[in-house]
Structure 1
Amino acid sequence: MAQGFADRHGHKPTAAQLRYLRRGLRQPGGKLPLFDEHGQQISPQTILSCVRAGWAEPWFENPIKPDWLVCKLTPGGRALFELSR
């Protein structure tokens, strides 16, 4: 899966990035989670690195929790998984 895919800077996704991005595949609009399947907050470093790579993009600001970065998959993020089909 996604082994040969790299971002515009030649970086390949890590296992943590792939786990995060995969969760947006079945969500409306490609919404990415703030918490993992165990209820733990997704690392902001993972989220920001996916945004910098172009695999995710900020979707909207949460007025109640402005420090939470709500993101969605980009076409490039979806492509990571389409390559393995």
Structure 2
Amino acid sequence: MNKLFVSLALAVVAAPVWAATQTITLSVPGMTCAACPLTVKAALSKVEGVSKTTVVFDKREATVTFDNAKTSAQALMRATGNAGYPSTLKN
């Protein structure tokens, strides 16, 4: 029982080491009107692990902050694509 408690306590302390907050910018060229960013933002915000999303119509880009233990850039690009706005990772 003592070993189990120590193992669980160690896992809780070590867990934040595995997870990291990451911020990426996606190019979303298909946004053609002022309402498009609302759809893109809603799609990205629904992805588990996303903590912040900013979509700028004039630049045709979305900046997303997320927990990389819960999601990935590929999942975020899939989310925008499923909403009708294919995106790519901006360099």
Q: Report the TM-score when normalising by structure 2.
A: 0.28
More strand by share: 2
TM-score, normalised relative to structure 1: 0.29
User: Which of the two has higher C-alpha Rg?
Assistant: 2
